[in-house]
Chain A
Amino acid sequence: MSLTVSGVSRSFGGVEAAQDVSLQVDPGRIVGLIGPNGAGKTTLVNLITGVLRIDRGTVSVDGEDVTAKTIVGVARAGVSRTFQNVRLLTDSTVLENVTLGLAQQEHSSFLDCMLGLPAAQRDRRAVRDKAMQILADVGMVEYAHRIASGLAYGHQRRVEIARAIAVKPKYILLDEPVAGMNDVEAGEMIQLFKSFAERGIGILLIEHNMRFVNALCEQIYVLNTGRIIADGTPAEISQSPDVIAAYLGT
C-alpha cells in the first residue's frame, strides 16, 4: 500500500526533466520533495498524475499500475493534487470550486439530474453541506460565496487545497502550497496537513521553505536536474554534501 514511483524518466527534446526517479509515499505519511528552481519537481507531479507522458518507468497506486492512465484515471485511482500556479475556476464562487471536488461522490442518476428530481436536489444539498465543512477545516467559510478570482493569493491556495481534499484522495501532491502565505498562515497549514495525514492520507509536499518542510516531514527527497540526489531525514539531508553543492551551486 503506497504511491510508488519507480525509475521514471522523461525528456523534452534534449532536456532530461526526470531521470530514473524513484520515490514512495506511504498512507498517513508526509514526504518532502525539495530541489532548486527547475529541478523537475512540478514535472514529476505532472508525470505522476498523467498530465505528461512517461518515457520510462512506472507509477503505481496501492499496487494498481497507473503509468499509462489519463489525468482522470489517475485521479480516480486516488491521487489528488494542487497546482503551483493556483488553478481555481475564476468565474465561480469558492463554494462552487469545492463542490466540484465532491461531484464524483453524488449518486443521483443522469435522469434525476435532467428532470430535476428530488434525488438530484438532495445530492446537491448534501454536497454543499459537505463543502461548507471542508471550507471550515481550511478556515474559509466566510468566503464561501465570494468569486474565487477576487480572493487574496493565500486564500486562493486554501480553496484549492479544500477542493483537492474534497475528492477523498488516498494520496495528495501539494506543489508549493504555502508560497505567498505569511508565517501565521503557513503555521495553520502545518496543522491542516498533519490532520490530513492523521486521516491516513499520504502527502507529497513540494516546498522551498525548509522550516516548513522540516516541521512536517520525516522523510525528504532532494531533486536536482531531474535526478534524486539524496533522500533521508531532515538532519541527514542538511548534512549531505551533494545537497549543499546543489543548493550553493558548484
Chain B
Amino acid sequence: MINFFYAYQPLIDFFLLNAGFALSQYIVLRAGVFSIATVGIVSIGAYSAAIVMKSLGLSIWIAAPFSALVGLAVGLLLSVPLARLRGPYQAIATLAFVQIVAAVALYAEPLTGGALGMNDIPKQVSTLGLVFALAFVLYILGSLSRSRIGAIFDALRQDEAVAGSLGISISFHHALAFALSGAIAGLFGALQAGYIYSIEPHQYGFVMLTMTLAAVILGGRRSIWGPVVGAAIMTFLPEIARPLAENRLLLNGLLLVVVIIFLPRGVVDGLIALVRRRRTSAVTWPAESSKEVRT
C-alpha cells in the first residue's frame, strides 16, 4: 500500500492540482457562465506566486493566499465586460484573455523570464498541502452548494430570465462565480508553481484548457464531486492506457464522446439522476422534455 503510494505519488499530486483547476472551471459553468478564463488565471496565479517567492523570498503560505487574491481580483475585473456577453461570445472573449495572458508571460521577460519561464522556484508544496487546499476549496464550494447560492447558480444555468423575474440579481451572482473561479484558479496556480520548480508560458495553453474543460464535462456541472471525478479520469486514464502509446489521446476523445452521448450531464450528475429516478421509479420521467409541451 505504502509502496503503491510512493510509486504513484507524482500522479496523485497532479490529480490534486488538476482537481483544483477543474473546480475553478466548474463553478463558472455551474452558474451558467461560459468562461474558459481559468487557465489564464492559473497562469497569473503561478507567476505571481513564483515572483513573490523568488524575488521577495516569501513562503508559499503567503504566496498562495496572495495569488488567490490576485485571481479573485482578475475574475471580478473580467466579469465586468463579460456581463454583457453570453454563451459562445463569453467563451471567445475569455479565450482571447487566455491568449493575452500567454503573450504577456512571453514578452514581459524581466518579470516572467519570457519563453524560458521561471526556474528554481522553491519547492514548498507537498501532497499533504495539496490535499489540504483541495479539501478547503471543496468545503467552501460544498457549503455554498447547500445554501441559496448553489440553488441560484443552478437556476442561472437553466434559465436566467426566470431567476431575474424572481428578483434574483443575475449580474451579482455571475460576478460572484467569476470571483470564486478566479480565487480557486489563483490558489492552485500558486500551488503548482510551488510544486514543480519551474513554470513557462506554454504550460498554460491549449492542453491545460481542454484538460480542465473535459474534466468538468466528463464529471458533471452540478455536484461538486463532478469535476473531482472528471479530473481523476483525465489524470489516471492516460496512465492506465499507457500501452496504447500515441493512441491515448484517441481514447480521451472517445471517452468524451461516449460520456456526452450517454451521460450528457456528466458521470457524477448523470449517476445521481439515475439513482433519483430509481427511487421514484413509478414517476413518468421524460428526460428534459418539458420543451416539447411548450407552445
Q: With a CB–CB cut-off of 8 A, which chain B residues contact A91?
A: 154, 158, 222, 288
How far in angstroms is the closest Cβ of chain B from A21? 20
Decide: A147 near B143, CB < 8 A? Known: A80-B165, A103-B166, A104-B166: no
**B6 beta carbon closer than 8 Å to chain A:** no
Contact A84–B295 (Cβ < 8 Å): yes
Q: With a CB–CB cut-off of 8 A, which chain B residues contact A148?
A: 290
Contact B158–A90 (Cβ < 8 Å): yes
The digit string for A102-113, where 1 denotes a CB below 8 A from any CB of B, is 011010101011
- Which of A75, A83, A89, A145 has a CB less than 8 Å from the CB of B154? A89
**B146 beta carbon closer than 8 Å to chain A:** yes
Bound-complex Cα distance A115 to B294 (A): 40
Q: With a CB–CB cut-off of 8 A, which chain B residues contact A145?
A: 280
**Count of inter-chain pairs, beta carbons less than 8 A:** 126
Number of interface residues of A (CB under 8 A): 51
Contact B166–A101 (Cβ < 8 Å): yes
Bound-complex Cα distance A104 to B151 (A): 12
Q: With a CB–CB cut-off of 8 A, which chain A residues contact B154?
A: 89, 91-92, 96
Q: With a CB–CB cut-off of 8 A, which chain B residues contact A70?
A: 164
Contact A104–B167 (Cβ < 8 Å): yes
How far in angstroms is the closest Cβ of chain B from A42? 11
- Which of B143, B148, B162, B164 has a CB less than 8 Å from the CB of A103? B148
- Which of A49, A90, A112, A163 has a CB less than 8 Å from the CB of B290? A90
Number of interface residues of B (CB under 8 A): 41
- Which of A87, A116, A121 has a CB less than 8 Å from the CB of B162? A87
When C-beta atoms are compared, the residue in chain A nearest to B176 turns out to be A110
Bound-complex Cα distance A163 to B168 (A): 13
**A18 beta carbon closer than 8 Å to chain B:** no
**B244 beta carbon closer than 8 Å to chain A:** no
When C-beta atoms are compared, the residue in chain A nearest to B285 turns out to be A150
When C-beta atoms are compared, the residue in chain A nearest to B147 turns out to be A113
Contact B295–A85 (Cβ < 8 Å): yes
Question: Which B132-163 residues sit within 8 Å CB-CB of chain A?
Answer: 139-140, 142-144, 146-149, 151-152, 154-155, 158-159, 161-163
**A199 beta carbon closer than 8 Å to chain B:** no
Q: With a CB–CB cut-off of 8 A, which chain B residues contact A123?
A: 147-148
When C-beta atoms are compared, the residue in chain B nearest to A71 turns out to be B164
Q: With a CB–CB cut-off of 8 A, which chain A residues contact B140?
A: 114-115
Bound-complex Cα distance A72 to B83 (A): 15
**B3 beta carbon closer than 8 Å to chain A:** no
**B196 beta carbon closer than 8 Å to chain A:** no
**B170 beta carbon closer than 8 Å to chain A:** yes
Bound-complex Cα distance A106 to B148 (A): 8
Pairs across A and B, CB under 8 Å, 24 listed: A70-B164, A76-B167, A83-B162, A86-B293, A90-B158, A91-B288, A92-B155, A100-B163, A103-B148, A110-B149, A112-B147, A114-B140, A116-B139, A116-B142, A116-B146, A120-B146, A123-B147, A124-B146, A146-B280, A147-B283, A149-B289, A153-B293, A156-B293, A163-B166
Contacts A91-B288, A150-B286 aside, 12 further interface pairs with beta carbons under 8 A come to A89-B162, A90-B158, A92-B158, A99-B151, A113-B148, A113-B149, A149-B288, A149-B289, A150-B283, A156-B290, A167-B166, A179-B295
